[in-house]
């Protein structure tokens, strides 16, 4: 079961008031993100790989090339740190020191399991559904060869933490009288207008699930 910040490694020490211990918030942050950064140490060198992912209950799923040495290391049980970061705004304080960002971030520690067979096929669909619901029903499913070329990993959310930063700038009292604007500039993620592939069969319409998908 997920215990947020419940281990010595995941207890938030720096600005602990930003720590969140509600599993529903963990799920909401993971469901709102599209990209995770997954760390792996290869021959003493840390690497951080950006990946698409999806949450599936108390597990996160992501995939990569069977030829990737980093994915092979993760599939053989190398320890990892999986992070998701959502940036919600710039906090413009009256000093450089107090200037910061609004964010929601998750850090999960653990070891991945490589999925196979039905579990692997299902996980690929779950990842696709997270990025764009309904797409999977229209596109060609992976061939045996394509499936072989893909490693699908599951990381249980057993040891994680959530940190959320929000609120107005927290200027020191002696800066408040400075004649400089201070406040928050929100950052909003949205999809743009779909662009047809150059080799699209003429007249193929943009599906409704693409037009209406917003996050």
Ligand X SMILES: Cc1cc2nc3c(=O)[nH]c(=O)nc-3n(C[C@H](O)[C@H](O)[C@H](O)COP(=O)(O)OP(=O)(O)OC[C@H]3O[C@@H](n4cnc5c(N)ncnc54)[C@H](O)[C@@H]3O)c2cc1C
Name which of 13 and 190 has its Cβ closer to ligand X.
13
Judge residue 143's burial from the number of C-beta atoms within 10 Å of its C-beta, 0-12 exposed, 13-18 middle, 19 or more buried.
Answer: exposed
Contacts of 182 (CB under 8 A, 6+ apart): 92, 93, 94, 168, 169, 171
Name which of 14 and 140 has its Cβ closer to ligand X.
14
DSSP for 152-171? EEEEE-SEEEEEEE-SS---
Q: How far is the CB of 183 from ligand X (least distance, A)?
A: 18
Q: How far is the CB of 42 from ligand X (least distance, A)?
A: 21
> Which parts of this chain interact with ligand X (CB under 6 A)?
9-10, 12-14, 85, 87, 101, 103, 105-107, 161-163
Is residue 151 a contact partner of residue 71, using CB atoms and an 8 Å limit?
yes
Closest CA to 38 of 21, 65, 60, 22: 60
Rounded to 5 degrees, φ, ψ at 13 are -100, -40
Name which of 112 and 160 has its Cβ closer to ligand X.
160
Closest CA to 105 of 5, 2, 213: 5
């Amino acid at each position: 079961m997920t215990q947020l910040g419940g281990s010595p490694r995941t207890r938030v020490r720096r600005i602990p008031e930003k720590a969140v211990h509600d599993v529903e918030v963990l799920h909401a942050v993971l469901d709102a993100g599209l990209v995770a950064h997954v760390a792996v140490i290869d021959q003493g060198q840390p690497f951080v790989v950006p990946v698409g992912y999806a949450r599936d209950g108390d597990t996160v799923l992501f995939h990569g090339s069977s030829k990737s040495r980093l994915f092979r290391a993760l599939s053989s049980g190398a320890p990892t740190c999986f992070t998701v970061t959502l940036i919600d705004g710039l906090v413009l304080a009256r000093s450089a020191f107090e200037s910061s960002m609004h964010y929601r971030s998750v850090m999960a520690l653990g070891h991945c399991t490589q999925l196979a067979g039905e579990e692997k096929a299902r996980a690929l669909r779950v990842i696709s559904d997270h990025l764009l619901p309904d797409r999977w029903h229209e596109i060609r499913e992976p061939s045996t060869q394509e499936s072989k070329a893909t490693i699908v990993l599951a990381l249980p959310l057993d040891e994680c933490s959530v940190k959320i930063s929000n609120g107005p700038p927290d200027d020191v009292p002696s800066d408040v009288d400075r004649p400089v604007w201070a406040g928050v500039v929100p950052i909003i993620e949205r999809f743009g207008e779909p662009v047809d592939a150059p080799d699209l069969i003429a007249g193929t319409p943009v599906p409704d699930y693409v037009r209406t998908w917003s996050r």
